[in-house]
Amino acid sequence: MFGCLARLLLALAALVIVTPSLLAHDSWISRGGHRNPAGEWCCGAGDCALLDPKSVTLTSHGYTVSGWGTIEGDGRREFYHEGVPEQEAQPSPDGAFWRCKRPDGSRRCFFAPPPNT
């Protein structure tokens, strides 16, 4: 009886851990099949953050990101401070700023609304 209960609890714990990542992976970024200039997929499970628009500025050299982003799906917050060349920015269909990262934390993709909006 105890073994059966332990297996059930383990299965439920795995489901609770995996479900947010699966939901995050099913976003417009992954559904759109977006890739960066190097050909890498932009979206991996839980690796895209919605950026606070106040943390992003457009300069003559591209975008400067200095502020917080909220990881899609699990709500974790991460701080970013980097420059993004304008030619590496992809149009954001939802009108928001997004940053997707590699497992090492480096930027994989950056989405920005068109500058005139």
Q: What is the DSSP string of 4-24?
A: HHHHHHHHHHHHHHHHHHHHH
**Segment 100-104 mean pLDDT:** 91
Top pLDDT among 25 and 72 is at: 72
pLDDT at 16: 38
Top pLDDT among 35 and 65 is at: 65
35 pairs with which residues across the strands? Answer: 41
**Segment 63-89 mean pLDDT:** 92
Q: What is the domain range of residue 24?
A: 2-112
How many structural domains are present in the chain?
1
pLDDT at 1: 59
Can you give the length of the chain in residues? 117
Is residue 101 situated within a structural domain?
A: yes
20 has pLDDT over 90: no
- Give the contacts of 77 (CB within 8 A, at least 6 positions apart): 68, 69, 70, 71
96 has pLDDT over 90: yes
Confidence of residue 29 (pLDDT cuts 50, 70, 90): confident
Is residue 42 situated within a structural domain?
A: yes
pLDDT at 42: 87
- CB of 117 closer than 8 Å to CB of 96: no
Is residue 66 situated within a structural domain?
A: yes
Is residue 117 situated within a structural domain?
A: no
44 has pLDDT over 70: no
Q: Calculate the CA dihedral of residues 66, 68, 69, 70 and round it to 10 degrees.
A: 180
Rounded to whole angstroms, how far apart are CA atoms 12 and 5? Answer: 11
Is residue 58 situated within a structural domain?
A: yes
Rounded to whole angstroms, how far apart are CA atoms 33 and 35? Answer: 7
Task: Give the predicted TM-score (pTM) of the model.
Answer: 0.73
